[in-house]
A and B are shown apart, each in its own frame.
Chain A
Amino acid sequence: MVRPDLDALYRQHAPAVARWVAHLGGPRVDVDDLVHEVFLIAHRRLAEFRGDAKITTWLYRITERVVSARRRRDRARRFMTRLWRGDVEQSTAAMSRLTPIEEVERQQARDAVYRVLDRMGEKYRSLLILFELEGMSGEEIAALTGIKLATIWVRLRRGRLLFLAELERDGGGLR
């Protein structure tokens, strides 16, 4: 098995990892920092990668762990400081907006989606994100996560029901 070097790994997979981080982490994570952390861990563990799984599966698992650790830490920090909003957001985000109203609406919708997703269990949350936000099929999710296809369908259906129930509890996401 030929192991890719870190530079090639980054060039090839960084955009996908960045998307996973942005989707799994939600609007308040620093995507640059987490992508950096993922690839540093990948660099350290590259020697342990035996090639049993696909490299994307391996990277996804690292990403999932890094993001969920960061989310736990952020939750604890929010609990401690009672701050709902995080640090000052990236200034580059401001530059991508077409009109302020569009951007505000989009931000509100993202906040609502992640408010609902954050109340769901991790196994439903991540599958729903991969299916709905990443646009992956069940088979692709199975290949990426290593979960059995039948389990994916069950979790996806349950996750959708939970999402709708939580969305209703949240006032239709328009709170």
Chain B
Amino acid sequence: MRPPWLRRSWARFTALRAADRTPVRRAWTALDEVDGDEGRAGALLRQAIVREPMSDTQLAAGRARLRRDRLRAPRGARLAQIAAGLVVMLVAGALLAAARHFLGWSASGSERRTFPAAGEPQAVRGRAHARAGAVIAAAAPPAALVPPAEEPVPPAYAPARPGPAALPRPPRSARIAASRPTTHARAEVAVDDRAARPAPGAAGDSVEHPPPGLATSRLAEESGLLTLALRKLRQDDDPAGALATLDEHTRRFGAVGALAVEADTARVEALLRLGRHADALARLEGLALAPTGSSRGLLAARAELRAEQGRCVAAAVDFDRLLSRAGEHDAIVERALHGRASCRAQAGDVMGARADLETYLARFPDGRFAAEARSMLHR
């Protein structure tokens, strides 16, 4: 009697052996039906297909990054340099230890700090130390001129110039967030740069700026809070928690924080994830959104939410703005073309809707709405 695990393994082995060399002509992902094992697997696999993992903008940024980095030493060479440095340090340490042992040298900090007073007998180990002590004793000024080593310095003599320690230290979470090499950390660095640059027209005016350390600490704190919110939203799948963190962000930094746009983006995403579309739209209606940069996504979301509420005229304004910039070819343009076509169709502008659908199919023949667009055009 074979145990169950052996029977299972045997069954699997015989099934694998039965596989022949006949060509497989049709992928499961190309199957129309969703019944049966293969159909279900195909439907599942279709969800995992990624059409354009990098947009044109990302590709252009990648090309620039590559141009910059190709002259740098390869990572292996850098590791070799670090390893060589460590070996040198170890060898030097070993040599020093050997010298201490055999020649009686002392590298102890406490011994070096204890200055012998003139004429005082010295407790020294070894001949070398005794010689050094004698030289120091001969060169030292009379004991009366040397202040006692342990005498406390009165506060009046303390340096008046504020050192870095006088500035508040950012909280630990913010420091971790600022040093973490994630995509968000990179975004934060970009924001940091932006914040560090003077605003146009502000140069040379009499506005007092906070000390740079203080501004960095505030920014680090803000970015720490935002990172926490994003982690709750995207990693812990906790949009409600993310909203609470974003409320805390608003309470502390208001709507004028350096990362206010990023916080708004995260808030809208959290509201959408909670199904609170009306709240998300209300939030978006209060924002001045440009069809460029990080606002594009918010503008697209607002247009879709307006369309969802049947406000096609207002939605079409946003879609028009998104499509007004030539040369962009990404998921947002895809959504905008599809959304505007739907709006135009609802408004009875059949020619306009057809034109949008044709443009869509020309630009995104394998897009997520391609099948729907084809069926609408053939209707």
Contacts and interface: CB of A to CB of B under 8 A. Distances in A.
B50 A15 contact: no
Contacts of A162: 16
Given A91-B187, A154-B19, A163-B41, A19 B62 contact: no
Interface stretch (B82-90, B149-157, B269-277): B269-277
A18 B24 contact: no
Contacts of A163: 41
Interface string A102-117: 0011100110111000
Interface string B254-279: 00000000100100010011010000
Contact of B297 (A36, A95, A135): A95
Given A132-B29, A135-B29, A10 B265 contact: no
Contacts of A19: 50-53
A14 to B, nearest CB: 5
A153 B24 contact: yes
A32 B52 CA distance: 12
Contacts of B49: 23, 133, 135
B345 to A, nearest CB: 17
Contacts of A146: none
Interface residues of B, number: 63
Contacts of B326: none
A31 B341 CA distance: 32
Given A10-B62, A32-B62, A91 B230 contact: yes
**Residue among A19, A88, A150 with the highest chain B CB neighbour number at 10 A:** A88
B66 A133 contact: no
- Counting chain A residues whose Cβ lies within 8 A of the other chain, the interface size class is 35 or more
A100 interface: yes
B114 interface: no
**Residue among B42, B53, B368 with the highest chain A CB neighbour number at 10 A:** B53
B234 A89 contact: yes
Contacts of A43: 66, 70
Nearest to B59: A14
A110 B335 CA distance: 21
A109 B45 CA distance: 8
Nearest to B58: A32
Contacts, number: 163
Interface of A is mostly: helix
Nearest to A136: B27
Contacts of B51: 19
Nearest to A44: B74
Contact of B265 (A91, A106, A153): A91
A132 B272 contact: no
A113 B44 contact: yes
Contacts of A167: 37, 40-41, 44
Contact of B47 (A87, A98, A106, A168): A106
Interface in A103-147: 104-106, 109-110, 112-114, 131-133, 135, 138
A157 B19 contact: yes
Interface string B104-115: 000000000000
Interchain residue pairs A-B with the least CB separation, the first 5: A95-B297, A109-B47, A157-B19, A22-B53, A96-B331
Given A14-B59, A22-B53, A90-B183, 16 more contacts: A6-B66, A11-B63, A18-B52, A18-B54, A22-B50, A32-B58, A40-B70, A89-B234, A91-B187, A110-B48, A113-B45, A113-B48, A131-B24, A133-B29, A135-B30, A163-B41
30 contacts: A7-B63, A14-B63, A18-B52, A19-B50, A19-B51, A32-B61, A35-B54, A40-B69, A87-B235, A88-B183, A89-B235, A92-B55, A95-B332, A99-B272, A104-B273, A110-B48, A112-B44, A113-B45, A131-B24, A132-B28, A132-B29, A133-B45, A135-B27, A153-B24, A157-B20, A160-B28, A161-B15, A168-B37, A172-B40, A173-B44
Interface of B: 12, 15-16, 19-24, 27-30, 37-38, 40-42, 44-45, 47-55, 58-59, 61-63, 65-67, 69-70, 74, 182-184, 187, 227, 230-231, 234-235, 262, 265, 269, 272-273, 275, 296-297, 300, 304, 331-332, 335, 368
